[in-house]
Structure 1
Amino acid sequence: MSDRAVSASVKNVTDRTSNPFGLRPPFDRTGPDERTAAFGYGDANADFHVIGDHPGAHGGKRTGVPFTETEAGLAVQDVFRDAGFVSGPRRRPDLENLYWNYVHMCCLPNGHEPTEAEYDELERYFDAELRAINAHILLPVGDRATDHVLREYTTQRARLELDMADLHAREIRGRGFMVVPIRNPLEWEEGDRETIVATIESILESDYRQTKGVATRIG
């Protein structure tokens, strides 16, 4: 599928929770009875967009829902439960003002990691979905997602070390977005969970908006 076709397929379809834009991945390495992908999931008009790595890392190979099943995925889910965005069952929760997806949506056989070529092949699909959601706050989880978001959607990557302990819960201005990285939950140290919950709650309590293409907070 060409970049133009990807963009044309992205429409603001708000009555679907899973894969609201009808994206179709360009390859399938799963078995006949396995899910092809963990598609984007949640509120297509959300202000908050959480971005993970791939289903093997952050969950969804069985449920088809990002941030389910795995220890890391459920830890992220529970942060947003505490912040009031998530309710309902953990395998298929209800999201309000929140959208979840992955840099690499396709499911892979157990033990396999995406190749660089596969990440590259899916980049235009991820980008099309991110721009269709057009959230104010991007929250990438882990090294891969954070590196991608900082490189592609801010001008800050060259001056920032990819040190997730340092970047965790920081508010970084991007090109039309505010970026708030989240350290991989499997690497959380004492206080990391409380810090990201507090940061999200602080953003919610402020007036966040976009001014001249840059996400800002007032108050």
Structure 2
Amino acid sequence: MQNVTDRTSNPFGLRPPFDRSDPGDRVAVFGYGNANADFHVIGDYPGIHGGETTGVPFTETEAGRAVQSVVRELGFASGPRDAPVLENCVLSYVHMCTLPAGRTPTDAEYADLERFFDAELRAINAHVLLPVGARATDHVLRTYTTQRRRFDLDMASLHARDIRGRGFMVVPIREPSEWDDGDRETIVSTLEDLLASDYRQTKGVATTVG
């Protein structure tokens, strides 16, 4: 089933519950891309993965640009770096709101925004979830699979590993600042192989296995 929306940014019209942004920053960095996408890249928060002034996830910061470069190599993104045109891909954050000086959200602030992220993720209903970094990976594995207990949160070993979830395939991405030699090539290769497969069977398989 496809969503009836052609909006690229904040396709479902979410309204954040608070504004703690610095002057000149966006109140929040909403989901961005194709709301009918099969691939959903999930970052942590704007202060680390970017978008505080552009309003677009995975822009501005070194970590954000590294993730976007992978998305581009896979053919999901084209056009300007700060306002890419996305095909079959959507980008969003576990914590969408911007915070003073890019500080890390508190546990309470993450909890405040959990329902907004969950509503957006389920409305998009992608086949493949790509959480970036430990916080996003932990949340996705806990919430959308039954397999979190099987894994230590060791991103070096989870990087580019396919994990079956409840209606989703999860492929974690190690935080770009921690990439070792070969990590970028590994995630690109894994996703290229996935694109060449019948990954849309994920829905049926994951429901029974996850």
Deviation at 1:112, TM superposition (A): 1.5
1:136–1:215 CA contact under 8 A, matched in 2: no
Task: Select 2:54's aligned residue among 54, 57, 63.
Answer: 63
As a proportion of its length, which structure holds more helix? Answer: 2
- State the number of aligned residues: 206
2:165–2:207 CA contact under 8 A, matched in 1: yes
Task: Select 2:125's aligned residue among 129, 134, 138.
Answer: 134
| 1:138-149 to 2 correspondences below 5 Å | 138-149=129-140
The yes-or-no answer on 1:28 pairing with 2:54 is no
Report what 1:117 is aligned to.
Answer: 108
User: SS where residue 177 of structure 2 aligns?
Assistant: helix
Report what 2:168 is aligned to.
Answer: 177
Instruction: Sort the Cα spacing of 1:113 and 1:212 in 2 relative to 1 into closer, same or farther, 3 A.
Output: same
Task: Select 2:179's aligned residue among 181, 185, 188.
Answer: 188
Query: Which stretches in structure 1 are left out of the alignment for 5+ residues?
Result: 1-10
1:178–1:215 CA contact under 8 A, matched in 2: no
Report what 1:210 is aligned to.
Answer: 202
Query: Which stretches in structure 2 are left out of the alignment for 5+ residues?
Result: none
User: SS where residue 115 of structure 2 aligns?
Assistant: helix
As a proportion of its length, which structure holds more strand? Answer: 1
1:137–1:215 CA contact under 8 A, matched in 2: no
How many angstroms apart in 2 are the aligned matches of 1:39 and 1:120?
17
The yes-or-no answer on 1:87 pairing with 2:93 is no
**Counterpart AA for 1:204:** L
Identity over the aligned pairs, expressed in percent? 72
1:13–1:21 CA contact under 8 A, matched in 2: no
2:46–2:102 CA contact under 8 A, matched in 1: no
Report what 1:3 is aligned to.
Answer: none
RMSD of aligned C-alpha atoms? Answer: 1.5
1:12–1:21 CA contact under 8 A, matched in 2: no
Deviation at 1:30, TM superposition (A): 1.3
Deviation at 1:107, TM superposition (A): 0.4
Task: Select 2:45's aligned residue among 54, 73, 80.
Answer: 54
2:128–2:170 CA contact under 8 A, matched in 1: yes
User: SS where residue 77 of structure 1 aligns?
Assistant: helix
Instruction: Sort the Cα spacing of 1:166 and 1:16 in 2 relative to 1 into closer, same or farther, 3 A.
Output: same
2:35–2:90 CA contact under 8 A, matched in 1: yes
Greater Cα offset, 13-22 or 184-193: 13-22
User: SS where residue 139 of structure 1 aligns?
Assistant: strand
Deviation at 1:159, TM superposition (A): 1.1
Deviation at 1:15, TM superposition (A): 1.1
How many angstroms apart in 2 are the aligned matches of 1:74 and 1:111?
17
